[in-house]
Amino acid sequence: MKILGIESSCDECSAAVVEDGRHILSNVVLSQVDFHKPFYGVVPEIASRKHIEWIRPVVQDALAEAGVAAHQVDAIAVTFRPGLIGSLLVGLSFAKGLAWALAKPLVGVDHILAHLYAPHLERDISYPYLGVLVSGGHTIIARVERSDRIEVLGTTIDDACGEAFDKVAKHYGIGFPGGVAIDRLARTGDARAFHFPRPSLHKGEAFYDVSYSGLKTAVIHQSDQFWNGKSDKSLANIAASFQKTAIDILADRASAAATDTGLHRIVVGGGVAANSYLRERMASEQGLEVIFPSLELCTDNAAMVAGFGYHAFVEGKVSDFTLNAEARVPMFKRAYP
């Protein structure tokens, strides 16, 4: 069974053809990074306009690369939430138009669940496991029962982890996307030069929650206060110290959740899963099997959408044409009164 996947939730315009939820026949990802770079962040209007220009050729390329004609696909899976609303609407409207024209089923896909599905495209992974989703908009620790059933154990109470990387990189002019630029610069820095603060959150129900706005503020506005007084106050040292703190916050909560739930298999997904220190640190956790997708499947791509969509489709979870885009999914972000 061949599923065409379409992804346009942020600044990657992507289409893919995946067979039986596992074999990637094509995965075309066109990044808009050069258009957003001057602003050190994704500009929503630029993103939607680029998606409008690119979506048709990207889908055509994905079909051509897979050697599949449009009428040969079994269903069209598309990200409908969460993300930038204008960007989501481009992919969703295109998918609806194509599904209508070809008389094919439409399958709406949640982007967060698709990220967690990404490593399933590369190997067999059995459920349940602890899912750790770290991207530009979300930071979620969840018990994953199956591809479409997760229980959120912890989430960020303010900024997402990737967002903190992006904001710190923007403030210091390190580069865009911030995570990639900081990861690269941190390799030459001393992570002990600054002792940045970690959040002290309340225990109890929200024990696995994380917070990044305090760390971001400390790194941007108060770095001197946390300097060890010996090493250079270089950008590389700031980047390395920030990265270590940001990743340790997450990795410590994920390890605690694994211990407490007895879920010793952890699957990490989302753009920040590409971080070299996170990969190194999680790999060294004793007694845990930690699975990361390959680097291409960490950041936004349509193969994960098509792969996830396959399972929804075979279970009859087809969407109708009233499906609308949703910018936010309440359970993925903690709403504090």
Q: Is 163 in the site for Zn ion (CB under 5 A)?
A: no
Question: In b/e form, how buried is each residue of 148-172, taking b as 16+ CB within 10 angstroms?
Answer: bebebbbbbbbbbbbbbbbbbbbeb
Distance CA 165, CA 219 (A): 10
For ligand KG4, the closer of residues 105 and 271 by Cβ is 271
List the one residue out of 65, 254, 63, 249 whose CA is nearest residue 165.
249
Phi/psi of residue 23, each to 5°?
Answer: -95, 115
Instruction: Identify residues 295-334 at the interface with Zn ion (CB under 5 A).
Output: 300
Within 134-153, which residues bind Zn ion (CB under 5 A)? 135
Residue 149 backbone phi and psi in degrees, to 5: -135, 110
Shortest Cβ 127–ligand KG4 spacing (Å): 22
- Give the nearer residue to ligand KG4 in terms of CB position, either 135 or 223: 135
Q: How far is CA 64 from CA 208, 253, 278, 308, in A?
A: 44, 44, 36, 22
Q: Are 233 and 223 in contact (CB under 8 A)?
A: yes
Structure token pair of residue 144: 């994953």
Report the residue count for the chain. Answer: 337
> Does 271 contact ligand KG4 by CB under 6 A?
yes
Q: Which does 137 bind (CB under 5 to 8 A by kind): ligand KG4, Zn ion, none?
A: ligand KG4
Instruction: Give the helix/strand (H/E) hosting 99.
Output: helix 85-102
What does residue 178 show for φ and ψ, rounded to 5 degrees?
A: -55, -40
Per rule CB under 6 A, is residue 166 in the interface with ligand KG4? yes
Place of tokens 């602003």: 39
Which of 41, 91, 178, 189 is close enough to bind ligand KG4 by CB under 6 A? Answer: 178
Nearest approach, Cβ of residue 10 and ligand KG4 (Å): 5
Question: Would you count residue 14 as binding Zn ion (CB under 5 A)?
Answer: no
Q: Does 177 bind ligand KG4 (CB under 6 A)?
A: yes
Least distance to Zn ion from the beta carbon of 115, Å?
A: 5
Our finding on whether 189 is near ligand KG4 (CB under 6 A) is: no
Q: How many residues bind ligand KG4 (CB under 6 A)?
A: 19
Establish if 79 lies at the interface with ligand KG4 (CB under 6 A): no
Q: Is 272 in the site for ligand KG4 (CB under 6 A)?
A: yes
Q: Kindly state whether residue 119 participates in binding ligand KG4, applying the rule CB under 6 A.
A: no
Smallest gap from residue 300 Cβ to Zn ion (A): 4
Binding string, residues 108-137; x marks residues near Zn ion by CB under 5 A? ---------------------------x--
Gap between the Cα atoms of 150 and 128, Å rounded: 9
Closest by Cα among 192, 138, 195 to 162: 138
Which one, 172 or 332, has the nearer CB to Zn ion? 332
d(CA 287, CA 265): 9
Instruction: Report how far residue 313's alpha carbon sits from residue 294's, in angstroms, rounded to the nearest whole number.
Output: 25
Q: Is the sign of the CA dihedral 18, 45, 81, 107 positive or negative? A: negative
Instruction: Single out the residue of 270, 293, 307, 309 in contact with ligand KG4 (rule: CB under 6 A).
Output: 270
- Binders of ligand KG4 in range 191-250 (CB under 6 A): none
Taking CB under 6 A as the rule, does residue 300 contact ligand KG4?
yes
- From CA 322, how far away is CA 39, in angstroms rounded? 35
**Residue 26 interacts with, from Zn ion, ligand KG4, none (CB under 5-8 Å by kind):** none
CA–CA separation, 181 and 266 (whole Å): 26
Which does residue 183 bind out of Zn ion, ligand KG4, none, counting CB within 5 to 8 angstroms by kind? ligand KG4
Give the range of 59-67, 132-140, 146-154, 304-312 binding ligand KG4 by CB under 6 A.
132-140
* 276 in Cβ contact with 266 (< 8 Å): no
- Binding stretches for ligand KG4 (CB under 6 A): 10, 135-137, 162, 165-166, 177-180, 183, 270-272, 274-275, 299-300
- Binding stretches for Zn ion (CB under 5 A): 135, 300
